[in-house]
Amino acid sequence: MTAVTERQQLAYIANQAADMRVNVELETEGMTLNIGPQHPATHGTLRIIVKLDGEQVVAADPVPGYMHRGYEKLAEVRTYPQVTTLVNRIDWLGSFANEVPFILAAERLMEVEAPPRAQWIRTILFELSRIGNIALFLGDMAVQLGAVTPVFYAFRDREYVLNQIEAITGGRFHPNFDRIGGLKDDIPKGWVAETKGVLTKMRAFCDELDELLVGNEIFTARTRGVGVIPPEVGLSYGLSGANLRASGIDWDHRRDSPCGLVYDKLDWKVWTHPDGDSFARYWVRLQETREAILMLEQLLDGIPSGPIMAKVPRIIKVPAGEAYVATENPLGEMGYYVVSKGDLVPFRVKIRSASFNNISIVPWVLRGVYVPDVITILASLYFILGDIDR
C-alpha cells in the first residue's frame, strides 16, 4: 500500500468523479459482445469483438486468423503446378478464380502465353465461378436479413453451375484445372449447350431474387442508408471489387487490366452504384451476376478452335524474376506476387486476397450502428473466411 502515492490516489478519485459525471445522465454499463469465432453470421470463423452501449456499437474489432493455413509459406515448398491445389482453397466458393492469377503470374515470368482456346475456356470457368460464388451471396445476404427462403434457392441453383464446372474439371469445389501454358483438358462434348440451359436458370434465379428481395420494402428499409462507405474511405481502406463499385468508383480489373483473359473481346459494362450502402452492394452484385451471364453467352458462342496447351517443358522451372498479377475475382482484387530464383519452387508468394482488405473497414463502418445492422453490413461486405486467413 505504501507504493500508492498521494498523486495516484488523487488521480484515482478524479477518474471516479469523471465516471460519475458521465454515468449520471444514463446509468448503463457497456457490454462486450463476442460475435464469433462461432456464430451463424460469420459463416466461418471470423471473430468480431463488439463493445455495445445498449444495442449500439461503440467499437468493433475484427480478429481474423482462426483459419490461417499458411498457404504463402506452403507454396514455397511446392512446385509451381502443385500450388494451384493449395490456392483452390482460398476463396472456396469460386475456387477456379483463385488459380488464374497465380498461373498468369507464372506464365508472365516464363514468357509463355496460353493459346486462345485455353484463354476462352479460362474466362468461361472464371465467370462460372463468379456466378457460383455471388449466387450464394445473394441468398446469404437475405438470411442475414432474416429471410430464410432465398438461400435455399441459392443453394439449389448454384448446384447447376457447380455441375457444369464439375463436368469440365472433375471437381465441384476444387477444380485444380489451370496449368501453366493452358488447361488440363478440353471441354466435353455437349457441354456448351448444357451450360446455356444453366444460364437460363441462373437468369431466372436473379429475376426471382430481384422480385423477392430488392423490391421488398423491409429489405429496402434494412439496407438503404445502412453501412454507407464513402468512395474516398473505401479507397483508403483498400476495398476492391463490388464493395468499391457500390461506392461509385468505376474500377474493374477485367476491363482495366485484362491480362491473359479475353474480356476485351466481349461486349459488357461495369456496374456501379452511387450510394455506397448495403443496398448498393447487393444491387451491384446482382447486376454483376446478370452481366456475367451475358458475358458467358457471348463466350460460349465464340470459343475458338485450336490447342489448349502451349509448348511448355515437362519439368517447369520458372526463370528468376518477380511478377504481380491481379484479377477481378468474385470477391474483389486478387493478386499474387511471385518471386522466383529460377528454381522448381517459388522463392516467395505473397497472396493479396480481397476479403482481408475488405474487412479492414469493419471497425470504421460498424461504429455507431445497431446490432442487427452489424450483421447486415458484414453480410453486404461479403467475405469468405478462407479468403481472409489464407
Nearer to other proteins, 105 or 378 (CB): 378
Q: Which of 10, 13, 14, 31 binds other proteins (CB under 8 A)?
A: 31
Residue closest to 226 by CA, chosen among 370, 364, 362: 370
Q: Which cell is 140 given?
A: 446469404
For cell 449520471, name the residue: 24
Rank residues 58 and 74 by Cβ distance to other proteins and give the closer one. 58
Closest separation between CB of residue 26 and other proteins, Å? 16
Q: Judged by CB, which is closer to other proteins: 55, or 250? A: 55
* Residue among 82, 216, 257, 360 that touches other proteins (CB under 8 A): 216
Nearest residue to 71 (alpha-carbon basis) of 52, 51, 85: 85
Q: Which residue has the cell 465516471?
A: 19
How near is the Cβ of 137 to other proteins at its closest, in Å?
14
Residue 46 and residue 356 in contact, taking contact as beta carbons nearer than 8 Å: no
Q: Which of positions 311-370 make contact with other proteins (CB under 8 A)?
A: 370
Stretches 32-40, 79-87, 284-292, 324-332: which one binds other proteins (CB under 8 A)?
A: 32-40
Strand, helix or coil for residue 46: coil
Residue 43 DSSP one-character state = S
| Residue 221 touching other proteins (CB under 8 A) | yes
Interaction mask 141-170, other proteins, x per CB under 8 A: -xxxxxxxx--xx--x--------------
Q: State the helix-helix crossing angle for 116-144 and 371-381, rounded to 10 degrees.
A: 170
> Which is closer to other proteins, CB of 22 or CB of 148?
148
Nearer to other proteins, 157 or 328 (CB): 157
Phi-psi region of 70 (alpha: psi -120 to 50; beta: other; left: phi over 0): left
Residue from the set 14, 23, 30, 55 that interacts with other proteins by CB under 8 A: 55
Any residues with CB less than 8 A from the CB of 51 and at least 6 apart, and which?
30, 31, 32, 33, 57, 58, 59, 60
Residue 96 CA to residue 121 CA, distance in Å, equals 11
User: How many whole angstroms separate alpha carbon 21 and alpha carbon 46?
Assistant: 37
Q: State whether the Cα torsion 26-30-31-33 is positive or negative.
A: positive
DSSP 324-345: EEEEEETTEEEEEEEEE-SSSS
| Residue from 87, 109, 125, 213 in contact with other proteins (CB under 8 A) | 213
**Distance from C-alpha of 91 to C-alpha of 97, rounded to nearest angstrom:** 8
Of 58, 74, 167, 212, which lies in the binding site for other proteins, with binding defined by CB under 8 A? 212
Instruction: List C-alpha distances in Å: 376 to 55, 193, 221, 282.
Output: 15, 38, 12, 11
Stretch that binds other proteins, among 39-47, 86-94, 185-193, 254-262 (CB under 8 A): 39-47
Number of residues that bind other proteins (CB under 8 A): 31
Report the residue from 373, 377, 380, 383 that binds other proteins according to the rule CB under 8 A: 373
Segment interacting with other proteins (CB under 8 A) among 105-113, 119-127, 183-191, 219-227: 219-227
Q: Write the interaction track for other proteins spanning residues 87-126; mark x where CB under 8 A is met and - where it is not.
A: ----------------------------------------
Entry field: residues in the chain: 390
**Angle made by CA atoms 130, 260, 85, in degrees to the nearest 5:** 60
> Where along the sequence are the contacts to other proteins (CB under 8 A)?
31, 33, 39-41, 55, 142-149, 152-153, 156, 212-213, 216, 218-219, 221-222, 370-375, 379
